Amino acid sequence: MPDSPPPLHIAIIPDGNRRWARAKGLLAWNGHQKAIENFKDLTECCYDDPRIGTLTVWCFSTENWKRDPQEIGKLMNMLEEYLQKERKGFAEKQTRFLHSGRTDRLPPSLVTLMRDVMEETKNFNRFTLHLAVDYGGKDEIIRALRKAKNPSSLSEESFRSLFDQPSLPDIDLVIRTSGEMRTSNFFLWQTAYAEWEFVDKFFPDFTAKDLMNAVDAFEKRTRRFGT
């Protein structure tokens, strides 16, 4: 009897929040707020699907600091409020929480909260929720190289151990919303053999059904990994 495939690592680039808000005559952070509400439904959907073991969501990139400071501040507050509300549920659902990205530029209260929740949930293995905040693929690789004591002796395995979350499996499927067809510096190493799905919807309009359609389509693809 063949072994069951390992649970999938799904990643989402939730693009189009500000455009969604502008189209409705709203402020940019209204789009982010709707996106966080939407994100809760998607997380529940992934948790309930036995095919999925990890969900990664890119919340804020290393390049997003170029945006309006007021918008950035509100987004950081929203992320903190989300984690405060959800941390009890993580324990109830045996969900491990992880963060990738820099911490030196984030609000100290958010950094402390993320570290506390990671510590509280580190032994859970039912499902993993992984948020990328102040994250960039190039930045992670540079930071990993700076940790290396002897870069010339690195192997793929030893280099990977220097990443923010080396225990995570590589990403199987990346879903990017809003119709944009760019990889945009997203987990450059971990997506080396990922499949991509570009969805022509702003993220606040992206539904659990859309997510399941993407996963269903992924399962029909043939992954060759260079062979």
- Local structure of 60: helix, strand or coil: strand
* Nearest by Cα to 15 from 136, 175, 167, 211: 175
- Residue 38 falls in the annotated catalytic set: no
Query: Which of the following is catalytic: 64, 139, 185, 210?
Result: 64
Catalytic site residue 170? no
CA-to-CA distance for 40 and 6, rounded, in angstroms? 24
Mapped onto helix, strand or coil, the DSSP state of residue 85 is helix
Collapse the DSSP code of 138 into the 3-class scheme (helix H, G, I; strand E, B; otherwise coil) and give the result: helix
Residues 6+ apart with CB under 8 A from 47: 93, 95, 126, 127
Which one of 3, 15, 116, 164 is the catalytic residue? 15
Q: Which CATH number fits domain 8-219: 3.40.1180.10, 3.40.50.2300, 1.20.1730.10, 3.40.640.10?
A: 3.40.1180.10
Per-residue pLDDT tens over the stretch 9-62: 999 999 999 999 999 999 988 999 999 999 999 999 999 999 999 999 999 999
pTM, two decimal places: 0.95
pLDDT in tens, 150-180: 988 999 999 999 999 999 999 999 999 999 9
Report the C-alpha gap between 84 and 57 in whole angstroms.
Answer: 17
